[in-house]
Amino acid sequence: MPLLEVDRLDVGYTIPGEGLLSRPRILPIVREASFDLDAGRTLGIVGESGCGKSTLGRAILRLNKPTGGKVIWQGEDMASLPAETLRRKRAELQIIFQDPLAALDPRMTVLASVTRPLVTFAPGLSRRDREVKAREALERVGLGPDFLGRYPHELSGGQAQRVGIARALVGGPKLVVCDEPVSALDVSVQAQVVNLLMDLQDQLGLALIFISHNLAVVRQMAHEVVVMCLGRVVEKAPRRAFFDRPLHPYSRALMDAVPEPDPKRERARRGTAITGEIPSVLNPPAGCVFATRCPLVQPRCHKERPELRGFAGGRQAACHFIEGAT
């Protein structure tokens, strides 16, 4: 049994109807997302800004309420759990945010920030026990006890993100959703934080959902990759197969858009930016979500939505025109 099963998950936001008397509508952000994740594994979720990847991550933690489908945690449907059980389970699923300084309350010391989840999820712990756990969590992320009394403005971006990771770890989670955790950091600090997350996964057997638009970081961290386009999963694949040969035209366009570090090769590169109009989520296309921008589009693509289909090597992709991939 996988640790986490996401089964045809829909997430949307309620918005007012168009007329004075019209009913509120659901703005669909994520549609029919499905995947599994085991302990000790990392699932990378990639896609452009606005593709729904962060909304999906938050819905798994029930920070956004799904509008359809299921999140099954250790065999139990999260939506069917009584409130008290759900509260206890929530301690096992934590999140690290993109902007580490904005994620910390400027009025709280590092000790207060790191112990806060314990106040919520382990109310029986004494103040002293909470402090012991905070010290342990800070030690795991490479920060000494001298950080306990500091405030966020006294931390660098990298130190603040380490405090964010310590806060996620303090309650002993099994799954951590990492929502663009290094995109606000300097490149040198990014590498340190990525290595830290990989070390913590090895030590603690954590499952990680790593949400990022940075394919280089996903290539380093992920065991499996999910690609999202306009709220839909369009490709799922083991990391090596995906980076050797992505199947979906959207995945290939994302890969082609990664800048070359060598300026000569970058200048010689063919123009591969994704062009064309992104459809409105209020009026999603009847057919393929990539049809208005796909270089391989055919008339069928505008009428008929491609389902995810299986290919060799455990890969899946949603495109009408992928044949015989090996």
* Contact residues for ligand SF4, defined by CB under 6 A: 249, 288, 290-291, 294, 296-298, 301, 306, 319-321
Q: What angle do CA 116, 109, 210 make, to 5 degrees?
A: 60
Question: Looking at beta carbons only, is 15 or 321 nearer to ligand SF4?
Answer: 321
Smallest distance from the beta carbon of 320 to ligand SF4, in angstroms? 4
Decide whether 80 or 298 has the Cβ nearer to ligand SF4.
298
Distance in Å, CB of 301 to ligand SF4, minimum: 3
CB 177 within 8 A of CB 60: yes
**Min separation Cβ 248 and ligand SF4, Å:** 6
Q: Would you say 177 or 301 has its CB closer to ligand SF4? A: 301
Report the residue number, 3 or 294, with the smaller CB distance to ligand SF4. 294
Residues 6+ apart with CB under 8 A from 194: 182, 217, 220, 221
Nearer to ligand SF4, 88 or 303 (CB): 303
C-alpha atoms less than 13 angstroms from C-alpha of 232 in its C-beta half-sphere: 20
Shortest Cβ 225–ligand SF4 spacing (Å): 17
- CA 216 to the chain's CA centroid: 15
CB atoms within 10 A of CB 273: 7
Helix H or strand E encompassing 300: helix 299-303
Closest approach of Cβ 296 to ligand SF4, in Å?
A: 4
Secondary structure (DSSP) of 236-262: EEEHHHHHH---SHHHHHHHHTSPPSS
